[in-house]
Structure 1
Amino acid sequence: MSGRGRKAVLPPADHRVEPPLDRDGLIVTVINKAGYRKTFDFAELSVAEPMQRSLAAAFAAQARGWNSHLTAGSYWDKLVLFARFVAQLESPPEDLDGLTAAILKRWRARHVASNTGRHTLAVIRRLLRWDPRLAAGPAAEELAKRVPGVKPSRQSYKETERDQVVLAARRQFRAAWIRIRENTARLESWRAGDLAEGSREWRIGQVLDHLARNGDVPRTILPSGDVYATNRHLLGGASAEKSWGRLFLTRMELTALAVVLTDTFAWNLSVYDRMPAPTQAPSAGETTSVTYQVQVEKRRAGGGRWFSTENITDSGADSRGRLVTHALEATAHGRILAARLKPGTGLLMVARAHQPGREDRDLDRPRRVGPLTFGVSDDDAKRWGRLHGLGGSPFQRSRRTTVTREGRPLQHTHGTHESVYMLPDKQVQQASRGVFEAGAREALEQARSVLFGGQIVDEPNPDHQETAMVDCENEETSPWPSPEGGCGADFLLCLACRNAHVHPGHHPRLAHLHQQLHSLRSVLDDRTFQGGWNDHLLRLEDLRDKVGLAAWQAALAQVGDDDRAVVQLLLKGDLAP
């Protein structure tokens, strides 16, 4: 089955796949998914003929996996750059086997510093490695060097920037949707015979019927050859919005719809060229909402994973599905006309071209049907951005903004989500500072909680009170006060208290406790030990490091019966503070 669910048809028995490289070895033909051909003449490259033929062979070998003229054109542009570089060398090699490691180092140094350059390096390396003469040796080792990944240069919009973009797109599309809805209602009234014959509304309805069937209002050709709208006075003008735009979106209005869809669903710009009109999913007894099944095509996912289906519900004015409903309503006449002019056409994103007779230049995109165009081109996106003061296409930044706002992968893998969208984004980094700071503070507090919190002294102070573990400077200022007054902490927590003082007389008992806690660790499960004893062990180890390992080991030889008894009581929990 094909990706769209149609049964695959076998080619004729005598079918043969035409090789990309012609017999002369200088012309490569790339056929895109739609079946259109584009040729690349390697005789135009500014290198010697043997290298032209070698590059053509490598290009043809790589081209077997392509179905897009855009991909082929991107590779070709980078080959032109490489050929120009080789031609400018002091002694240009005749063929690829003349490429030395030194030449390739110069080529790498020229391009490795920028995103565009790194992409160029990766493409040329991929092509050159098709040549068996570059499979071994110093040049091959230079080609094998990793090319640094392209760093994302696009950033998500700030909230105010995003509001500006989305508000402009919503206003433009909503005005178009209201215009088309009102004229659709007028056309339906005319077709139902509800308008008084001969009235102004009736005559407009007649024009709308002609427009719906032909994609344009009636036109009059003057003797001079000039063409104008026959009913321009009746319609209120000859502009697109007053004439054919009454039932069809303009390309800029369709682009505005795509901007809002990207902000809502994070779809790629290329998705809109081939998105079928959504269908209604079956609903069990649901009358107040409608669920649409939207097919999303993502070619970079690889063969067999190009298509995915998203269920989007229109449950009211504030639901995401309401935008799909409005998109279907705004494009209805365009879709009906396209299906009549070319049966089988069922794309959602359709607009009426300002210049219907103009030829398509980008053969990777859907071809025009009569006066209708499909999808949103890069030029459309850039023009829309300039018209709204954005300086360029808003789609990459809008998609990035939606993905980072949602905080989860949308039509891409988790790895891509983290490495391409989240981590490099300045807005995410800014928003994460508070989280990182809180985490760092929490980590610092946790680290401090397992450190010895008191003071190490050389001799006891008679003003301090002796406890089971240490000497206490002032139990009234304990971090763990008792409701009855004084300190309410367990004696083991003395090691974490700022009032604790440890002198050499404490070392034997503390060293013995440290030894016993290690023994306890071997007989308890991890959860029990971590919950009850691990922090005390870590504080003792911190104290040991501060006292010194030699003094600590020496203290073990001085452990007495009293020390052992006290430690035993502490471990059993029988020694109250």
Structure 2
Amino acid sequence: MMRSYDFGVLPVPEAFQRSLAALYAAKCAPGGGWDSVETSEAHWYLVRPFTEFLASLDDVAPDVDRLTTAHWNAWRLSLPPRPNGYSKYASVAGLLQLDPRLAQPVREAMAKRFAWETGRVQAYGPEEFKEIRIAARRTFRSALLRIRENTDRLTAWRAGATEPSSREWLVGEALDVLARTGDVPLYEWRRVVRRRYRPALGGGSAEHTWKRLFLSRKETAALAVLIASELGLNSTTISELSMPKTLPGTAEAGMPVYRLRLEKRRRAGHRGRFESRNLTDSGADSSGRIISEALEATSHARATLALLGADTERLLAWHQTTEHEGQAYLKAVRAGQFGFGVDEHSGRDWARSVGLSGSPLKRIRKTVNVLHRREPGQNTQDTHDSVYVLPEPQVQQAAVPVIAEGALDAVAAAHRTVFSARLTERSKAGELETATADCADYEHGPFSPPGQTCAASFLLCTACPNARVTPTHHPRLAHLHQALGNLRGVVEPVVWDADWADAHARLADLRDRLGEAVWNAALASVSDTDRDVIDQLLHGVYDL
């Protein structure tokens, strides 16, 4: 497929038109990033509004080199703070930055973050997800059973197992014509079913004619929903799925393993752009079963296309209901009466036909990757985490107990044996003195809710990152370490372990950090005040 774009219709001066055409050609060249028909056309409709905006200004830039930060900032402010606004912003900036004449101040303005609201696409809840899968399964299963039934009729007719001129024989003959041409026998000038076959087929509607062997566009959309619910792929990747290869010997063993080749268009480089997945059909609940059923339901379409000289490797193929069905969509690919793939529009049309609102393909993908597979589908881990996982309300809700458990773990870790206070040379203004150290922030410690005064024991100051220990505190802490060691011989081991052991271990860690010489000097300089403070601490005088 090819597309052409007339830059002469853009409402900017001719020099600007020529510059945009040259830049656009570079982006659409192989490796330029917009080198598919679909992508180039999508960006055309993002770039065009920029030229329309420039034309509305009193001071129209004659060319790219005359574009100013005022032009750019005005354009930026005109865009809605939503994903569509960001897409326009990023598309135009990426295009213009290819021009070396673009002024540096404008480049710096383009580098500023575009603030926009997070996308509103949310994962489905468990019941919604189940309901959509049931609806899709109902649609596709009905079509699959219909095709199976008529395949058996066609096979029987071709094997000569039906009585000539009987109703079943006429149906079989019509199916044979359908399988070879894409239509049952018709009067060509009126495109209606021939009178001879009409009673046997039961009528001339799609259900009585071509649907006997082929999927419709909506039924293919339901199939795509089922594939997305298994694999977490986006609609473009599903649409472009090629026929999977079956690993040798697996089909003969009754458990076929399919190798799907997936393309990730946004990844640079040939190697990083493609990946493969192996899916095993080991039963009704296995991920490979939907691939087996997709191959079965679309086999007649591919066989017919091959007979008509329009062979295709696409997995998803369907028969048009009307001559122009779906042809206005960006992803439309056709061969005669047949279409290939799926898009958001067909997903939306299927959803409406079963009483749902909007295409479920995007939300299905997010639901599967974020809540079920819990790993990137076609993104990097960073994109998966920041764009898909973190903004998802269900993930945030599920994270509450995890965060709470983490906070408890943090408190538990504070009671362990590592000295966590900061060693400094001298006290600073604003630090408050405690019984064992100075405190730099008593309202935001790890042992009390934020904004509330710390109510922890002064023994925990040695486990607090907000505590500051200067050389003036060394004698008191050395004396505390000695006193705790003396307690060990006079209290029950269980009591000592529960109340004093962690504090003693942290002080031992401090002793090791300061060194034996400093520690011994501290012990030698313990004052009466230090002894009184430690005595009151151990007797609970400072406890609230």
Both structures adopt the same fold (TM-score exceeding 0.5): yes
> Structure 1 residues 494 and 392, CA, compared in 2 at 3 Å: closer, same or farther?
closer
Q: Is the 8 A contact 1:469 1:492 kept in 2?
A: no
1:62 positional shift: 2.6
Pick one of 2, 10, 25 that aligns with 1:60: 25
**Aligned ranges for residues 50-449 of structure 1 at < 5 Å?**
50-64=15-29, 65=32, 66-111=34-79, 113-136=81-104, 138-148=105-115, 151-220=118-187, 225=190, 227-228=192-193, 230=195, 231-283=197-249, 287-304=253-270, 305-342=272-309, 344-356=311-323, 360-361=327-328, 365-366=332-333, 368-404=334-370, 405-447=372-414
Q: Please list the CA deviations of residues 276-330 of structure 1 after superposition, one character each: whole Å capped at 9, or x if unmatched.
A: 2223212379724221222222222233133322211111222222211111111
> Structure 1 residues 226 and 356, CA, compared in 2 at 3 Å: closer, same or farther?
closer
> Structure 1 residues 157 and 233, CA, compared in 2 at 3 Å: closer, same or farther?
same
1:166 positional shift: 0.9
Letter of the 1:105 partner, please give it: N
1:351 positional shift: 0.7
Letter of the 1:373 partner, please give it: G
1:490 positional shift: 5.8
Letter of the 1:555 partner, please give it: V
Structure 2: how far apart are the matches of 1:292 and 1:131? Answer: 46
Q: Is the 8 A contact 2:318 2:340 kept in 1?
A: yes
1:235 positional shift: 1.5
1:352 positional shift: 0.8
Q: Please list the CA deviations of residues 432-479 of structure 1 after superposition, one character each: whole Å capped at 9, or x if unmatched.
A: 2222222223323443677875899xxxxxxxxxx963999xx9xxxx
Number of aligned residue pairs: give it.
Answer: 461
User: Secondary structure of 1:46's match?
Assistant: coil
Q: Please list the CA deviations of residues 351-394 of structure 1 after superposition, one character each: whole Å capped at 9, or x if unmatched.
A: 1111247794557653x223211111332122122223332211
**Aligned ranges for residues 6-21 of structure 1 at < 5 Å?**
none
Q: Is the 8 A contact 1:268 1:399 kept in 2?
A: yes
Residue aligning to 1:49: 14
User: Secondary structure of 1:555's match?
Assistant: coil
1:521 positional shift: 5.7
Q: Is the 8 A contact 1:248 1:331 kept in 2?
A: yes
> Structure 1 residues 437 and 237, CA, compared in 2 at 3 Å: closer, same or farther?
farther
Structure 1: how far apart are the matches of 2:70 and 2:316? Answer: 51
> Structure 1 residues 357 and 83, CA, compared in 2 at 3 Å: closer, same or farther?
closer
> Structure 1 residues 285 and 369, CA, compared in 2 at 3 Å: closer, same or farther?
closer
Pick one of 475, 491, 496 that aligns with 1:491: 496
Structure 1: how far apart are the matches of 2:507 and 2:408? Answer: 32
Which sections of structure 1, spanning at least 5 residues, go unmatched? 1-35, 457-466, 476-485, 498-509, 525-550, 564-577
| Alignment pair present for 1:555 and 2:520 | no
1:428 positional shift: 1.4
User: Secondary structure of 1:373's match?
Assistant: strand
Residue aligning to 2:472: none
1:558 positional shift: 8.7
Structure 2: how far apart are the matches of 1:155 and 1:363? Answer: 25
Q: Which moved more, 1:439-448 or 1:394-403?
A: 439-448
Residue aligning to 1:570: none
> Structure 1 residues 287 and 96, CA, compared in 2 at 3 Å: closer, same or farther?
closer
Q: Please list the CA deviations of residues 57-102 of structure 1 after superposition, one character each: whole Å capped at 9, or x if unmatched.
A: 3323333223223322233223321122222223323333333222
Structure 1: how far apart are the matches of 2:528 and 2:311? Answer: 93
Q: Is the 8 A contact 1:281 1:293 kept in 2?
A: yes
1:349 positional shift: 0.6
> Structure 1 residues 210 and 357, CA, compared in 2 at 3 Å: closer, same or farther?
farther
Structure 1: how far apart are the matches of 2:513 and 2:99? Answer: 63
User: Secondary structure of 2:5's match?
Assistant: strand
| Alignment pair present for 1:518 and 2:510 | yes
Residue aligning to 1:543: none
1:343 positional shift: 5.5
Q: Is the 8 A contact 2:192 2:204 kept in 1?
A: no
Q: Which moved more, 1:198-207 or 1:169-178?
A: 198-207
User: Secondary structure of 1:310's match?
Assistant: strand
Q: Please list the CA deviations of residues 128-154 of structure 1 after superposition, one character each: whole Å capped at 9, or x if unmatched.
A: 223333243x33432333445783331
Residue aligning to 2:478: none
Structure 1: how far apart are the matches of 2:23 and 2:117? Answer: 24
> Structure 1 residues 220 and 63, CA, compared in 2 at 3 Å: closer, same or farther?
closer
> Structure 1 residues 426 and 110, CA, compared in 2 at 3 Å: closer, same or farther?
same
1:167 positional shift: 0.8
Structure 2: how far apart are the matches of 1:285 and 1:363? Answer: 37
> Structure 1 residues 449 and 229, CA, compared in 2 at 3 Å: closer, same or farther?
farther
Structure 2: how far apart are the matches of 1:162 and 1:514? Answer: 52
> Structure 1 residues 143 and 559, CA, compared in 2 at 3 Å: closer, same or farther?
closer
User: Secondary structure of 1:187's match?
Assistant: helix
Q: Which moved more, 1:353-362 or 1:81-90?
A: 353-362
TM-score scaled by length of structure 2 = 0.75
Structure 1: how far apart are the matches of 2:251 and 2:64? Answer: 69
Letter of the 1:469 partner, please give it: L
Which sections of structure 2, spanning at least 5 residues, go unmatched? 418-446, 448-455, 461-481, 517-521, 535-544
1:227 positional shift: 2.8
Structure 2: how far apart are the matches of 1:284 and 1:557? Answer: 85
Letter of the 2:56 partner, please give it: Q
1:156 positional shift: 0.8
1:488 positional shift: 4.0
User: Secondary structure of 2:203's match?
Assistant: coil
Structure 1: how far apart are the matches of 2:81 and 2:136? Answer: 37
> Structure 1 residues 392 and 357, CA, compared in 2 at 3 Å: closer, same or farther?
closer
Q: Is the 8 A contact 2:28 2:36 kept in 1?
A: no
> Structure 1 residues 517 and 76, CA, compared in 2 at 3 Å: closer, same or farther?
closer
Report the aligned-residue RMSD: 3.5
Structure 2: how far apart are the matches of 1:294 and 1:488? Answer: 64
User: Secondary structure of 1:292's match?
Assistant: strand
Letter of the 1:430 partner, please give it: Q
> Structure 1 residues 380 and 492, CA, compared in 2 at 3 Å: closer, same or farther?
closer
User: Secondary structure of 1:132's match?
Assistant: coil
